[in-house]
């Protein structure tokens, strides 16, 4: 299962880069798209910090510029890759205790958190695609199978 999770994170990083590249190429940036992208990236960092037992760096819905999003898209893959490379299959069911953005305490298995990160990001990238299309532009093509066909994910 760990190899599949690592593969999904490679896809996630690729898809986030595709979205940033797409948004940078638009003649007018839909504000909602930027807000959602900032949320994706902040949430990815937040979950990594929870897994590591660290303090939260950003709010859940930060006001990032597109340049700040670009920096996060460049930094997060290195952080996640380092975390996942030090990880072992037997660590997946390990419980992690954390507080959510409303202050409620929860406990989740590491494997569920990792899957949540990837699925949460994909869900919100779909919202960005809808928003970009509604603004009259073509969104980034971030389907998993497209990444495979393009050999961006092994």
Do the Cβ atoms of 44 and 121 come closer than 8 Å?
yes
Please state which of the four CATH numbers 1.20.120.450, 3.20.20.70, 1.20.120.1200, 1.10.3080.10 is assigned to the domain occupying 2-65+94-149. 1.20.120.450
User: Measured between alpha carbons, how far is 91 from 84 in angstroms, rounded to an integer?
Assistant: 10
- pLDDT at position 20 is 98
Question: What predicted TM-score, i.e. pTM, was given to this entire model?
Answer: 0.94
Measured in whole angstroms, how far is the alpha carbon of residue 128 from the centre of its chain? 13
Compute mean pLDDT per 10 residues along the chain, 154 residues long, and list them: 93 97 97 98 98 95 98 98 94 94 94 98 98 98 92 71
Question: CB 138: neighbour CB atoms within 10 A?
Answer: 11
Q: φ, ψ for residue 22 (rounded to 5)? A: -60, -50
Tell me if residue 102 falls in helix, strand or coil: coil
pLDDT given at position 150 = 84
């Amino acid at each position: 299962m760990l190899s599949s999770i690592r593969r999904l994170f490679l896809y996630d990083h690729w898809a986030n880069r595709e979205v940033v590249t797409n948004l940078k190429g638009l003649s007018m940036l839909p504000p909602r798209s930027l807000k959602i992208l900032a949320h994706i990236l902040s949430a990815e960092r937040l979950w990594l910090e929870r897994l590591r037992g660290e303090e939260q760096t950003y709010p859940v819905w930060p006001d990032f510029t597109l340049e700040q999003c670009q920096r996060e898209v460049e930094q997060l893959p290195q952080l996640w890759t380092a975390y996942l490379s030090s990880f072992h299959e037997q660590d997946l069911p390990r419980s992690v205790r954390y507080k959510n953005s409303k202050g409620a305490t929860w406990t989740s298995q590491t494997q569920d958190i990792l899957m949540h990160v990837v699925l949460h990001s994909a869900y919100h990238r779909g919202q960005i695609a809808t928003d970009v299309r509604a603004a009259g532009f073509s969104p980034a093509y971030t389907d998993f199978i497209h990444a495979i066909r393009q050999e961006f994910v092994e």
